[in-house]
């Protein structure tokens, strides 16, 4: 179902709800781009880690973001890889260290302001399925279609566990659970851009749905 209409579809929700996999499928089906906004916060975090920058200093983090170029490059298979100052960091941003430190960038108002601006610019130029925490609330309040994807906590932990194991990473299930609880709590409660369902978003509970079923469920709501 390819479309020539300019289209913005937002997919917000907590970690492990399946947003990125579903967003990629949707984008492919519709013949539009997939924007992974979490990758942008992760890329800045990676840079701060490499430079040994103090995460709790919001001014330093904001200045770092101002001097950083985060963009995406399209791979031959059609997937988008995030680039940090021109370097492909798609793999490096998935480390546990980056995952567990991204909340610093995410809670910093100056950083969010820049990220939101970059995301809006991308949305002006491209039709996108965008996934994150604030896409339907802050970045694209006038999106054509908004979804809030959720799944129960145990299911989200199991999915993340499987994903990490399949990627060949050693994981401690108990620690992962604790880290995800902590990340949820931080995402829901930060003062700026918290994870929140937009009033007009459609809730998709994927607890008992496969990826394919989730995509089908979402597609039922997309009339173009």
Binding site for ligand C5P (CB under 6 A): 15, 37-38, 41-42, 102-103, 106, 132-134, 183, 187, 193
Between 2 and 38, CB nearer to ligand C5P: 38
Between 167 and 224, CB nearer to ligand C5P: 167
Residue with tokens 């906590």: 153
Between 37 and 206, CB nearer to ligand C5P: 37
The end-to-end CA distance of the chain, in Å, is 9
- d(C-alpha 99, C-alpha 108), whole Å: 16
Between 3 and 73, CB nearer to ligand C5P: 73
Residue 80, strand partner residues:
74
The set of residues, in sequence order, having a beta carbon less than 8 Å from that of 164 and lying 6+ positions away, is 171, 176
The least CB distance from residue 221 to ligand C5P, in Å, is: 21
**Strands, sheet with 70-74, edge to edge from the N-terminal-most edge strand:** 70-74, 80-84, 87-88
Between 3 and 189, CB nearer to ligand C5P: 189
The least CB distance from residue 187 to ligand C5P, in Å, is: 5
Between 102 and 214, CB nearer to ligand C5P: 102
Q: Residues in the chain, how many? A: 224
The least CB distance from residue 146 to ligand C5P, in Å, is: 13
The least CB distance from residue 44 to ligand C5P, in Å, is: 10
The least CB distance from residue 6 to ligand C5P, in Å, is: 21
Q: Do the beta carbons of residue 186 and residue 41 sit within 8 Å?
A: no
The token pair at 94 is 């998935």
Q: Is 144 exposed, middle or buried (0-12, 13-18, 19+ CB in 10 A)?
A: middle
| Closest by Cα among 59, 58, 70 to 118 | 70
- d(C-alpha 147, C-alpha 207), whole Å: 15
The least CB distance from residue 45 to ligand C5P, in Å, is: 8
């Amino acid at each position: 179902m390819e479309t020539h209409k300019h289209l913005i579809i937002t997919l917000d929700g907590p970690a492990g709800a399946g947003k990125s996999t579903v967003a990629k499928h949707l984008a492919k089906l519709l013949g539009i781009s997939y924007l992974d906004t979490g990758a942008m916060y992760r890329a800045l975090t990676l840079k701060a880690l490499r430079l040994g920058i103090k995460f709790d200093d919001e001014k330093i983090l904001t200045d770092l973001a101002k001097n950083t170029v985060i963009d995406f490059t399209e791979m031959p298979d059609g997937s988008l890889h995030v680039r940090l100052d021109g370097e492909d960091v798609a793999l490096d941003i998935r480390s546990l260290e980056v995952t567990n430190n991204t909340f610093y960038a995410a809670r910093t108002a100056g950083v969010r302001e820049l990220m939101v601006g970059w995301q809006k610019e991308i949305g002006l130029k491209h039709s996108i399925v965008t996934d994150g925490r604030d896409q339907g609330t802050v970045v694209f309040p006038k999106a054509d279609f908004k979804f809030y994807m959720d799944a129960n906590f145990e299911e989200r932990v199991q999915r993340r566990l499987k994903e990490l194991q399949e990627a060949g990473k050693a994981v401690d299930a108990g620690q992962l659970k604790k880290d995800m609880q902590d990340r949820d709590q931080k995402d829901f409660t930060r003062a700026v851009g918290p994870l929140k369902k937009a009033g007009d978003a459609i809730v998709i509970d994927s607890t008992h749905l496969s990826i394919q079923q989730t995509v089908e469920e979402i597609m039922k709501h997309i009339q173009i």
